Amino acid sequence: MDQPPLSARRRSLLLPTLAVLAVAGSIFALTALRADDQRTASPEPVAQTAALPASVVDAQKAAVAHYSPATESSAIAVDIKNYAFSPASLTVSIGDTVTWTNEDTAPHTVTVTDGPEKFASPTLQQGQTFSYTFTKAGTYSYYCAVHPDMKASVTVQGSTPPTTTTTPPPTTTTTMTMPTSNPGGGCAVKEALAPFIAHLKAAHLEESLGQQVTDALNLDQYIKTHTVLIENMLTPVLNGDADQSVKDVLSPLLAHLKAAHLDESLGQQVTDLLNVDQYVKTHTVLVENMLEPVFNQLTC
C-alpha cells in the first residue's frame, strides 16, 4: 500500500493535537475563571471575637483604674530613731498614707495634740509600725506620749471633700442650762491633764519595770522628758480661759522650767544640783513667787 507523502502525515497528526490543546486550554480557562468568580463572591471570612461577659469587662476597667498613677495615693515613711521623728516636718496631700516605724529600743507613740482630727497610735516597740491615711486638710501637731519632748508635725494640702448632711425638719425643744461657777474651767483642766494621762499610760502603766529602769538610767533624756511633760500640761492652762489667779501662780513655774531646765545642759543642771544651798534657795523662792499672788488675793 502506498504511503502518503510526509507532509500529509504531519498535517493529519497536527490537527488532532491542536484540537486536544484547544480543548484543554478552554477547560483550564473556564476553571480559572470560575475560581476567580468564587473568590470575588465569597471573600475570606473575618475573624470575630466573642463578646466578653460584662463582669469581666468591669473587672478589667476596675483594675486599670486601680493601678492608674493619677488615682494612686502616696505612701510616706517617718522614722522614729534617736528619740526624734525624721522628718520632723512633713507636707503631704489628702489621701496620702504616712507610716511611722520605731527604730529605737525604747517605746514610742504617735499622739496628735492639735489638728483637724485627733488620733493616737498604740505604744510602738522596736520594729513596729503605725499608719494613718489623712482625709482632711490642715496641720497636725503630734508628739510621743512616752517622751513628750519628741515633737513633729504633718501639713496636709488639698481640698477636703464636702460632707453631705440632711437637714432634719424643725422641731420645738426645750433646753435647760445648768448653772456653773467656772465656765470653761473644765476644758482647761482636761487639756492640762491630757498629756499627763497619755504619758502615764504609755510610759508607765504599759511598760515593764525593766524598761522604766532603763529610761531612768538615761538621766538626761529622763529629766528632759518629765520637764517637757510639765510644760505641756501648763501651756494650755496659761493660754486658755483659766482664771487669771491660776495663771499668776503657774507662770513663774513655767518660766523656771524653760530657763533652768529646758534651756540648760545636763552638766549645768548637775552643777546646780551639787550647789545644794543655792539649789534649795532657788526652788524655795520659786514656790514663794508662785504662792504670793494667791495670798495677796485672800481676804479675812
Q: Are 198 and 286 within one domain?
A: yes
Round to whole Å and give the CA distance between 163 and 167. 12
Given 140, 157, 174, which residue is the final one in a domain? 157
Residue 78, pLDDT score: 96
What crossing angle do the helices spanning 185-200 and 219-239 adopt, rounded to 10°?
Answer: 170
Q: Are 192 and 283 within one domain?
A: yes
| Residue in 85, 69, 61 with CA at minimum distance from that of residue 140 | 85
- Choice between 226 and 2, residue whose per-residue pLDDT is larger: 226
Q: Are 200 and 264 within one domain?
A: yes
Structural domain includes residue 145: yes
DSSP state of 181: S
Structural domain includes residue 169: no
Residue 144's DSSP bridge partners are: none
Q: Could you give the number of structural domains in the chain?
A: 2
Edge-to-edge strands of the sheet including 138-143? Answer: 89-93, 151-157, 138-143, 111-114
Instruction: Look at strands 111-114 and 138-143 and give their pairing.
Output: antiparallel
Q: Are 151 and 198 within one domain?
A: no
Structural domain includes residue 174: no
Round to whole Å and give the CA distance between 245 and 181. 15
Structural domain includes residue 102: yes
Structural domain includes residue 51: no
Cis peptide before 43 (omega within 30 of 0): no
Q: Are 205 and 283 within one domain?
A: yes
Given 157, 177, 195, which residue is the final one in a domain? 157
CATH of residue 90's domain is 2.60.40.420
Phi, psi of 102 (to 5 degrees): -85, 115
Structural domain includes residue 292: yes
Residue 79, pLDDT score: 96
What is the mean predicted confidence (pLDDT) over 246-259? 74
Those residues whose C-beta lies under 8 Å from the C-beta of residue 167, and which sit 6 or more positions away, are none
| Per-residue confidence band for 12, with pLDDT thresholds at 50, 70 and 90 | low
What is the mean predicted confidence (pLDDT) over 271-289? 79
Range of the domain at 150: 76-157
Q: Give yes or no for residue 276 having a pLDDT over 50.
A: yes
Q: Give yes or no for residue 17 having a pLDDT over 80.
A: no
Is the CB of residue 114 less than 8 Å from the CB of residue 91?
Answer: no
Structural domain includes residue 128: yes
* Binding residue positions: 108, 144, 147
Tens of pLDDT, residue by residue over 155-170, are 999 876 665 555 555 5
* Binding residue positions for Cu cation: 108, 144, 147
Helix (H) or strand (E) holding 77: strand 75-80
Q: C-alpha dihedral over 156, 159, 160, 164, to 10 degrees?
A: 180
Q: Are 193 and 143 within one domain?
A: no
